[in-house]
Amino acid sequence: MIGVVVLGSTGSIGESTLDVLDRHPDRFRLVGIGAHTSVEKLAQQILRYRPAYAALADERAARELAARLGGAAPETRLLSGPEALMELATLPEAQCVMAAIVGAAGLPSTLAAAHAGKRLLLANKESLVMSGPLLMDAVREGGATLLPIDSEHNAIFQCLPPGSHAGETPAGVRRVLLTASGGPFRDATPEVIAAATPEAAVAHPNWVMGRKISVDSATLMNKGLELIEACFLFALTPERVEIVIHPQSIIHSLVEYVDGSLLAQLGSPDMRTPIAHALAWPERMASGVAFLDLVKTARLDFRAPDFERFRCLALAQSAARAGGLAPVVLNAANEIAVQAFLERQLNFPGIASVIEDVITRSPAGSIGGLDDVLAADAEARQRARECIEAGFGTAARSYGGATA
């Protein structure tokens, strides 16, 4: 039996992971689950799965959880506080850790799992974007096995030569192509995009995801973050990672080889496929995903992204080329700007404007250690908040002519 910890168990990736584990009780044992503040969902999961450990990083939420359970799950040890998720990530009885905490909050526990030599199922792309060199060093030094969960990077991994490992340039590969659905605004006019509401931005046409990642998909920042992630995962320069719009989300990504071969991974748009692949690797097992009907699919379309309408993608490409602390600043500013948009403090185009302003005012620098990453992250967040509060005013908070 393989012991599994699911960090971010209350999110969409976490719930999909639990669904896959449910289908293979003979192979996997759920050791621990953790989240940040989701009391009600975590309580439901504890009562259903009865894991040995459960954690909430927010101490107030953890107290609410204990009161909510009222001793109903005595076999589950409750952990709380900033170190709780790191403790889960390093449990000796867990060989496999799903890292699905959204945003920079997932970085410490992801690094902890890598240092502990776990099979690390990486769904937290921000960990690589913020501290790619540090995470890859931790994987090598800790003897961990890193398997990507993002559908695009998992697809690339499946198309690489046998024996390929994260952090090593794959033999014979010319470039990789990351496919993007284009999000809910892929065919929208600039006027429609300028007036976009949070409700419209999170209504993804193909995938069911959390609110933050859904907005990132709408701005195409998600694809920009994935470009940075791919550079670290597969040891490629940004020039060897191309993005192509593929509205059907059937081809999840492609690998082009020096002999002209182009290998693609296809499947229904369901995150249980990459989750099951990583859990069972190097074997295969059922995921519960509907099998793809190529005749019914009928057609596959592709086009280049529009960098003028989707400025976030261009900003991410520039950060990837700059390297060092630039991706840290990009990610931090994006998280603050997206949250402000969701709270109606910023309009949709304002997300890119805030990020660009913060990047412009942030000094370049290299990553010497985790302290450098955390300092750059904190400074960029503060600059983004200041930009939102003082630099954009009513115009940036206007939705279709009406002030939010």
Q: How many residues does the chain have?
A: 404
pLDDT computed for residue 392 by the predictor:
57
Are the C-beta atoms of residues 32 and 98 closer than 8 Å to each other?
no
Are the C-beta atoms of residues 100 and 6 closer than 8 Å to each other?
yes
Are the C-beta atoms of residues 208 and 12 closer than 8 Å to each other?
yes
pLDDT computed for residue 401 by the predictor:
37
pLDDT computed for residue 71 by the predictor:
86
Digitized pLDDT (tens) for each residue of the chain, 404 residues in all: 999 999 999 999 999 999 999 999 999 999 999 998 899 999 999 999 999 999 999 999 999 999 999 989 999 999 998 899 999 999 999 999 999 998 778 899 999 999 999 999 999 888 899 999 999 999 999 999 999 999 999 999 999 999 898 999 999 999 999 999 998 999 999 999 999 999 999 887 776 677 888 899 999 999 999 999 999 999 999 999 999 999 999 999 999 999 999 999 999 989 999 999 999 999 999 999 999 999 998 899 999 999 999 999 999 999 999 999 999 999 999 999 999 999 999 999 999 999 999 999 998 889 999 899 999 999 999 999 999 998 654 344 544 433 33
pLDDT computed for residue 400 by the predictor:
42
CA angle 187, 189, 191 (to 5 degrees): 150
Give the domain 2-149 fold.
Rossmann fold (3.40.50)
Q: Which two tokens stand for residue 336?
A: 């603050």
d(CA 42, CA 61): 10
CB-based burial label for 181 (10 Å; 0-12, 13-18, 19+): buried
pLDDT computed for residue 395 by the predictor:
41
Are the C-beta atoms of residues 57 and 34 closer than 8 Å to each other?
yes
d(CA 22, CA 235): 35
Are the C-beta atoms of residues 86 and 112 closer than 8 Å to each other?
yes
Per-residue pLDDT reduced to its tens digit, 211-250: 888 899 999 999 999 999 999 999 999 999 999 999 999 9
d(CA 109, CA 120): 11
d(CA 69, CA 75): 12
Per-residue pLDDT reduced to its tens digit, 331-379: 999 999 999 999 999 999 999 999 999 999 998 889 999 899 999 999 9
CATH second-level architecture of 323-403? Answer: Orthogonal Bundle (1.10)
d(CA 89, CA 118): 8
CA angle 356, 220, 237 (to 5 degrees): 80
Checking phi first, is residue 360 left (phi over 0); if not, alpha (psi -120 to 50) or beta? alpha
Are the C-beta atoms of residues 14 and 210 closer than 8 Å to each other?
no
Q: Where are the domains of the chain?
A: 2-149, 158-297, 323-403
Q: Which two tokens stand for residue 98?
A: 């799903």
d(CA 310, CA 295): 33
